[in-house]
């Protein structure tokens, strides 16, 4: 029973990373006409609230649930920060070569120090590891922290300086820099919400709700989302507003995540007999490798075909990238197991 329950968060992570693949292709491969079409808005929406916020909330849930010690979590956070920097160099490798050789004239530093989700994950794990030692399982401090982090951007001043390194450093935490996609504030709110859910789940067995109970809750949340959907859609499909959203959108995204999680929970009830959910569960268990490989492929291909692909071509690229990433993750796992029989996917 416990093993079966543990599969559900992996499915959520698997759905999130697949949705990230499609939105990266829409942003970098599709023509401006496709990107600005209804199809583009649908792609951006599903690459928004159901993707990064859900992924980060699930990560926070697992950090809170983990029995790993403080040092191991600190090491894991630092490792993700290093992976984030290496991934930036790797996914932009072909572009950086063009810059170095002089065939493309642009500033390379925003590409090297772009604030992608691995940096957010690394900083989040570091902060949560520290705060777990202070707050432990006391729910009130975590709720206060969620409120503070969600509203922090309203109070944090953007530092003006001629020293560019200050702007690059600040971009990891807050501000409106164009290369800052997932700054710590407000994005750390989502892993904090994951911690809050884990504490409540442990105390009140929230994940043990019956199918009927989940349907009732989902229905109530659906009404709220339906009434406010135009607001959520507007923020989710305007990338600068989405990456640097405010307290109100955090509330909306949180409500959407509840609805989304319930929908996936109900649909995945038949996962043992459904190859799609088995695949998504596997992708979720290997989410870091999945994320890194898909970006290495998409980022370097984008230098050749940036914003030139039709809607059909973009869809075919999505299928091809997802398939190629899956094969490479399979090969990676097989290779690692050959040298480490005790290896666990991750």
Taking only the tens of pLDDT, the chain with its 346 residues reads 344 446 889 999 999 999 999 999 999 999 999 999 999 999 999 999 999 999 999 999 999 998 888 999 999 999 999 999 999 999 999 999 999 999 999 999 999 999 999 999 999 999 999 999 999 999 999 999 999 999 998 888 877 777 888 889 999 999 889 999 999 999 999 999 999 999 999 988 887 788 888 889 999 999 999 999 999 999 999 999 999 999 999 999 999 999 999 999 888 776 656 889 999 999 999 999 999 999 999 999 999 999 999 999 999 999 999 999 999 999 999 887 654 544 444 5
Distance CA 207, CA 261 (A): 11
Domain count, the chain: 1
146 close to 157: Cβ distance less than 8 angstroms = no
Q: Does residue 125 lie within any of the structural domains?
A: yes
Q: Does residue 344 lie within any of the structural domains?
A: no
Q: Does residue 346 lie within any of the structural domains?
A: no
Model-level pTM? 0.93
Distance CA 314, CA 306 (A): 11
Range of the domain at 259: 2-339
Q: Does residue 255 lie within any of the structural domains?
A: yes
Measured over the CA atoms of residue 28, residue 32, residue 34 and residue 38, the dihedral's sign is positive
- The tokens describing 179, both together, are 């290369």
Distance CA 115, CA 123 (A): 11
Non-local (6+) Cβ contacts of 6 within 8 A are: none
Q: Does residue 246 lie within any of the structural domains?
A: yes
215 close to 221: Cβ distance less than 8 angstroms = no
Q: Does residue 345 lie within any of the structural domains?
A: no
Which residues, in sequence order, are bridge partners of residue 30?
309
Q: Does residue 101 lie within any of the structural domains?
A: yes
Tokens 């038949």, residue? 270
Phi, psi of 263 (to 5 degrees): -60, -45
Q: Does residue 49 lie within any of the structural domains?
A: yes
């Amino acid at each position: 029973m416990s093993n079966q329950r543990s599969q559900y968060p992996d499915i959520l992570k698997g759905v999130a990373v697949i949705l990230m693949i499609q939105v990266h292709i829409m942003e970098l491969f599709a023509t401006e006409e496709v990107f600005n079409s209804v199809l583009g808005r649908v792609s951006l929406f599903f690459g928004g609230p159901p993707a990064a916020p859900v992924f980060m909330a699930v990560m926070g849930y697992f950090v809170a649930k983990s029995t790993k010690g403080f040092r191991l979590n600190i090491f894991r956070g630092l490792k993700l920060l290093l992976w984030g920097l290496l991934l930036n160099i790797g996914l932009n490798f072909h572009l950086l070569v063009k810059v170095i050789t002089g065939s493309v004239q642009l500033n390379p530093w925003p590409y090297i120090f772009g604030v992608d989700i691995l940096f957010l994950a690394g900083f989040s794990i570091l902060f949560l590891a520290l705060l777990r030692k202070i707050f432990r399982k006391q729910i009130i401090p975590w709720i206060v922290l969620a409120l503070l982090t969600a509203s922090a951007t309203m109070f944090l001043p953007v530092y003006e300086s001629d020293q560019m390194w200050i702007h690059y450093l600040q971009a990891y935490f807050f501000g409106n820099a164009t290369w800052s996609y997932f700054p710590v504030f407000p994005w750390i709110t989502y892993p904090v919400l994951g911690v809050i859910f884990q504490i409540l789940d442990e105390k009140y067995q929230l994940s043990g709700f019956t199918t009927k109970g989940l349907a009732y809750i989902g229905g109530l949340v659906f009404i709220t989302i339906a009434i406010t959907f135009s607001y959520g859609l507007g923020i989710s499909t305007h990338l600068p507003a989405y990456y640097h959203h405010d307290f109100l959108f955090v509330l909306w995204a949180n409500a959407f995540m509840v609805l989304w999680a319930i929908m996936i929970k109900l649909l995945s009830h038949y996962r043992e007999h459904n190859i799609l959910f088995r695949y998504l569960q596997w992708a979720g268990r290997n989410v870091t490798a999945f994320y890194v490989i898909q970006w290495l492929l998409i980022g370097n291909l984008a230098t050749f075909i940036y914003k030139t692909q039709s809607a059909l071509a973009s869809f075919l690229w999505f299928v091809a990238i997802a398939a190629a990433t899956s094969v490479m993750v399979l090969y990676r796992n097989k290779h690692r197991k050959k040298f480490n029989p005790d290896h666990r996917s991750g």
